[in-house]
Amino acid sequence: MTSFLRRRFGVIAALILAASPVRAQTASAPSSTGAVLLLAGRDDAASLAQLKAALGGADATIRETAARVVATGSYPALTNDLFAALAREQDPPAAREILRAWLLQGGESALMLADEQARRLGVDGALVVAEWLARVKPQAFIERMPQLLAAVTTTGTRVALQRILEMAAAQHPDLTETFERAWQALEPDIEAASPADMQFSKWAPAAPVRAELVHPVVRSLMTDVLRVSGCSPKSDRVGLGGIVFSPDGRPARIELGTEGLPSACATALGAIIRTSLAERFEPVAVGELKYIVIPFTESFAKCTAIDDTAATAGPPPASSDIKPPRRKREVHPVYPAEAQRARIQGTVAIDANLTTAGCIAAGRVVQSVRGLDVASLWAIAQWEYEPARVNGKPVPVVVKVTIPFTLR
């Protein structure tokens, strides 16, 4: 392997592999994504051996999940395994996650090899590196903008580049004007090179999310995490996690609210929160706590298991018969006693992900009222809808929900 890396990726890559310790312990790759996710936060020899096996396993989803786990912690013993996985990965989603893990583990010292791999992976790789730079080296990101613009040639990748720039402006408010000037200088070129019917949004940096209902990526893994951990959903079980992010989007500190949860569900909660990285285009408020609500209920477990991937094919034709969702069941939030004592009131606004089954599988607070966000998320997780339909077929949509709290 060392000679192969030297020929293909140069001396530095070979030195990384040679300098990493070789462990005698081996393990077979975990058989499910839930088993991989439950390795988060563990650094014993057996867990490291399982992560190594997962990174080199045959299942691309398991490799992707293993990279996510590695990205959230400090795993110097897996440096060679991570790079070897990156060098050979051909599956685009797994490659993106492994490349991000490589940057998050190695920081600036990993950038040169990350750039080499990004060139191999094409525009997807370039955008992963761009987002990392936008978070931790914003000036370097601005300097790369012309190069990035030349690389993004499709509608989707150009929109992604715009959103990364807006994310950077939100995360680095002291540089907002610099980012805006960079975008204004490039905007005419983008519009000229884009399809005539493509509309770019105006300059609008998004605010950091203060609270959300599950994590969008972890949502797809939740059912398996519950199964492997042995957590049995019940009607009144809910977990609460808090994350303080580092600038690069990794959890720097976590808090777990496990009151009333059996140990198996507390274990599942810990794995879910530990692997809740800041996602693409999501700015982080460094040093501030972000809350994540995880309902461990039967209905929510079923809701998160729904695969709406095939139903997300873009906006419907203008001639389509479109029926918006209709709410069938509403659960009013409990007004927290502490918020009432502090005389806190206001309206919480949430963008909620409604599935084809009419349940809410994820959501994020877009208008926050401190002390009221968590209660709002827990309430809407129990709501039920008639799903939105296009030409009679249920489709997933994002609905904006407002929850008013008024002192009496």
DSSP letter at 359?
B
Query: What is the C-alpha separation between 208 and 29, in angstroms, rounded?
Result: 36
The CATH number of the domain covering residues in 211-307+320-405? 3.30.2420.10
Closest CA to 278 of 252, 306, 308: 252
Closest CA to 166 of 212, 200, 140, 143: 200
Q: 228: how many CB neighbours lie within 10 A of its CB?
A: 21
Which whole number is the average pLDDT over 292-304? 89
Q: 260: how many CB neighbours lie within 10 A of its CB?
A: 13
Confidence of residue 385 (pLDDT cuts 50, 70, 90): very high
Among 10-14, 130-134, 389-393, which stretch is predicted with the lowest mean pLDDT? 10-14
pLDDT exceeds cutoff 60 at 7: no
Query: What is the C-alpha separation between 209 and 366, in angstroms, rounded?
Result: 7
Comparing 114 with 149, the larger pLDDT belongs to 114
pLDDT exceeds cutoff 80 at 27: no
Strand order of the β-sheet with 322-323 is: 322-323, 388-390, 393-395
Comparing 395 with 26, the larger pLDDT belongs to 395
pLDDT exceeds cutoff 70 at 185: no
Location of structure tokens 């525009």: 123
Provide the token pair at 143: 């300097």
Confidence of residue 293 (pLDDT cuts 50, 70, 90): very high
pLDDT exceeds cutoff 50 at 118: yes
Confidence of residue 150 (pLDDT cuts 50, 70, 90): confident
Parse the chain into domains and list their residue ranges.
2-193, 211-307+320-405
Question: What is the predicted pLDDT for the residue at 2?
Answer: 44
The CA-based angle 78-82-85, given to 5 degrees, is 140
Query: What is the C-alpha separation between 221 and 307, in angstroms, rounded?
Result: 11
What 3-state DSSP class applies to 367?
strand
Closest CA to 213 of 84, 380, 23, 26: 380
Cα→Cα distances 377→200, 214, 260, 364, 371, Å: 31, 10, 18, 8, 12
What percent of the chain clears pLDDT 90, i.e. is strictly above it? 58
Average pLDDT, whole number, for the chain? 84
pLDDT exceeds cutoff 70 at 243: yes
- 197, with CB counted inside 10 A (0-12, 13-18, 19+), is exposed
Spatial neighbors of 146 by CB under 8 A, at least 6 apart, are 186
Which whole number is the average pLDDT over 328-344? 95
Question: What is the predicted pLDDT for the residue at 129?
Answer: 95
Q: Identify whether the C-beta of residue 242 lies closer than 8 Å to the C-beta of residue 9.
A: no
* Residue 353: alpha-carbon gap to chain centroid: 15
What 3-state DSSP class applies to 65?
helix
Rg, Å, the chain Cα set: 22
The fold adopted by the segment(s) 2-193 is Leucine-rich Repeat Variant (1.25.10)
Confidence of residue 71 (pLDDT cuts 50, 70, 90): very high
CA-CA-CA-CA torsion sign (232, 234, 236, 242)? positive
pLDDT exceeds cutoff 50 at 6: no
Which whole number is the average pLDDT over 50-72? 95
What percent of the chain clears pLDDT 70, i.e. is strictly above it? 85
Provide the token pair at 108: 């600036």
DSSP letter at 78?
G
* pLDDT tens-digit map of 94-106: 999 999 999 999 9
Which whole number is the average pLDDT over 165-194? 74
pLDDT exceeds cutoff 60 at 160: yes
Question: What is the predicted pLDDT for the residue at 85?
Answer: 96
3-state secondary structure 137-191: CHHHHHHCHHHHHHHCCCHHHHHHHHHHHHHHHHHCHHHHHHHHHHHHHHHHHHH
Question: What is the predicted pLDDT for the residue at 313?
Answer: 47
Query: What is the C-alpha separation between 187 and 18, in angstroms, rounded?
Result: 46
Query: What is the C-alpha separation between 393 and 361, in angstroms, rounded?
Result: 19
Query: What is the C-alpha separation between 385 and 24, in angstroms, rounded?
Result: 54
Question: What is the predicted pLDDT for the residue at 268?
Answer: 93
DSSP β-ladder status, 289-295 and 211-213: parallel
Cα→Cα distances 329→40, 55, 358, 381, 383, Å: 36, 43, 10, 11, 5
CA-CA-CA-CA torsion sign (78, 79, 82, 87)? negative
Q: Identify whether the C-beta of residue 259 lies closer than 8 Å to the C-beta of residue 239.
A: no
Question: What is the predicted pLDDT for the residue at 162?
Answer: 81
Provide the token pair at 338: 């502490």
Question: What is the predicted pLDDT for the residue at 255?
Answer: 94
Q: pTM of the prediction?
A: 0.83
Spatial neighbors of 188 by CB under 8 A, at least 6 apart, are none
Q: Identify whether the C-beta of residue 65 lies closer than 8 Å to the C-beta of residue 33.
A: yes
pLDDT exceeds cutoff 70 at 22: no
Strand partners, 401: 350
Largest CA-CA distance found in the chain, in angstroms, rounded: 73
* pLDDT tens-digit map of 358-380: 999 889 999 999 999 999 999 99
**Dihedrals phi, psi of 329, to nearest 5 degrees:** -140, 130
Question: What is the predicted pLDDT for the residue at 52?
Answer: 95
